[in-house]
């Protein structure tokens, strides 16, 4: 595997890495988000905020996410306020269409990390995945932090696989392909590729 550099990222964008018809941003903006070996991704308009709720979520089993998560739209003039310890699920403005021979790893932007805002988990983006990226963000610091709508919050490092996999994400039984909104954990699905 090798990490894709800036001109390779631009080439992937030109070949459809970002589906601008399903993104809440444009080509020129995304091109400005290209770094030497990563692509910045920005915070989209909708988030899911955790609610106090009775009951429990059992990992891998179906649950009613509306009982645990409130869907909110970010006020573009105010952003989203994160107090110390606050968490939320966000999604990127960019709708990615990963090629069958490219995977990604999502990392917190260092400038956001220096405010102790952490993209916590689930950073692997499989080859063949299409959709916005759900972000798990948490304020790990001691200060209130406002994150504006459209802020560059994470970066994706793209790597070329040694070969095209037999079944990329789009050809497997999957739970998140095509997602637009920030998605909560979905029920595990068993079985062969669809």
Q: Which member of 52, 136, 183, 187 is catalytic?
A: 136
Residues 45 and 181: their CA atoms lie apart, in Å, by 9
| CA gap 117, 108 in Å, rounded | 8
Residue entry with tokens 């990615």? 96
Q: Distance from CA of residue 78 to its chain's centroid?
A: 21
Q: What tokens were used for 54? A: 């009775």
> In degrees rounded to 5, what are phi and psi of residue 77?
-85, -15
Name the token pair of 171: 């050809």
Q: Is 136 a catalytic residue?
A: yes
Pick the closest to residue 96 from 147, 135, 143 (CA basis): 135
Which amino acids are annotated catalytic? 136
């Amino acid at each position: 595997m090798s990490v894709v550099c800036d001109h390779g990222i631009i080439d992937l964008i030109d070949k459809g890495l970002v589906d601008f018809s399903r993104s809440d941003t444009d080509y020129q903006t995304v091109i400005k988000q290209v770094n030497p070996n990563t692509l910045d991704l920005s915070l989209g308009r909708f988030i899911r905020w955790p609610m106090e709720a009775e009951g429990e979520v059992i990992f891998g089993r179906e649950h009613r996410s509306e009982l645990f998560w409130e869907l909110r739209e970010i006020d573009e003039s105010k952003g989203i306020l994160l107090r110390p310890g606050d968490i939320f699920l966000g999604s990127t403005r960019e709708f990615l269409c990963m090629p069958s021979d490219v995977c990604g790893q999502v990392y917190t932007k260092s400038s956001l990390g220096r405010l102790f805002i952490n993209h916590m988990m689930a950073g692997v983006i499989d080859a063949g995945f299409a959709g916005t990226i759900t972000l798990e963000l948490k304020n790990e610091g001691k200060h209130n932090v406002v994150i504006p709508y459209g802020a560059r919050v994470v970066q994706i490092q793209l790597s070329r696989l040694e070969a095209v996999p037999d079944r990329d994400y789009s050809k497997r039984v999957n739970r998140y392909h095509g997602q637009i909104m920030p998605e909560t954990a979905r029920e595990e699905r068993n079985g062969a590729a669809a």
